Amino acid sequence: MNRRRLLGALAGLALAACTRRVPEGVGPAAREPGDGGGAGMAVQRRDRVVLPEDEWRARLTPDQYRVTRQGGTEPAFRNAYWDNHAPGQYHCVGCDLPLFDSDAKFDSGTGWPSFSAPLADDVVITHEDRSLGMVRTEVRCARCDAHLGHLFPDGPAPTGLRYCLNSAALTFVPRDN
């Protein structure tokens, strides 16, 4: 097997790993944003950022728009932060809300930036994603509803969670010290 084919095979494995089925009831309670209210509805952030689609399109690069507003996925190993080991925080590319810290980042081998926990419970929301014939848990920014990636139950201790994210949904802010 030559190097190119090997890399292709590895990328395929990584994609399979990042789209693994999540058993029911795993991870933080699934919430449906905007599903009409009623008892048990998630508390909405008071500082929510809601913009018309053409405004998002103007603000974001085509890749950022495709990922965050259309639920797209960037290629494994060909994105900005999968191999970034610098200390700092990862902000939402849509609204600049700090979402994840490098302290929670780990090498998942998938080719996407992976975290064991967000900075705080209320900075991301999750809900069930039944696209592509799979049941997955989608992760979104709690302030602007940007699609960030998916959540899987095979992360490291202590959370056992793996937030598999798209670099295009994030802005890295290095810690200066």
Instruction: List, in sequence order, every residue forming a beta bridge with 89; answer none if it has no partner.
Output: 101, 173
Q: Quickly count helices (H) and strands (E) in the chain.
A: 3, 9
| Separation of CA 79 from chain center | 13
Residue 95 Cβ, how far from Zn ion at the closest point, in Å? 3
Active site residue 92: no
Structure-token pair, residue 51: 């913009």
Is 146 a binding residue for Zn ion by CB under 5 A? The answer is yes
By rule CB under 5 A, what string of x and - marks binding of each residue 74-113 to Zn ion? ------------------x-xx-x----------------
Q: Taking CA 82 as the corner, what is the angle to CA 80 and CA 86, rounded to the nearest 5 degrees?
A: 85
Cβ proximity to Zn ion: between 14 and 119 the closer is 119
Q: Quote the DSSP letter at residue 108.
A: -
Contact 19, 108 (CB under 8 A): no
Cβ proximity to Zn ion: between 93 and 104 the closer is 93
| Contacting Zn ion within 125-144 (CB under 5 A) | 141, 143-144
Compute how many residues bind Zn ion; rule: CB under 5 A.
8
Interacting residues with Zn ion (CB under 5 A): 92, 94-95, 97, 141, 143-144, 146
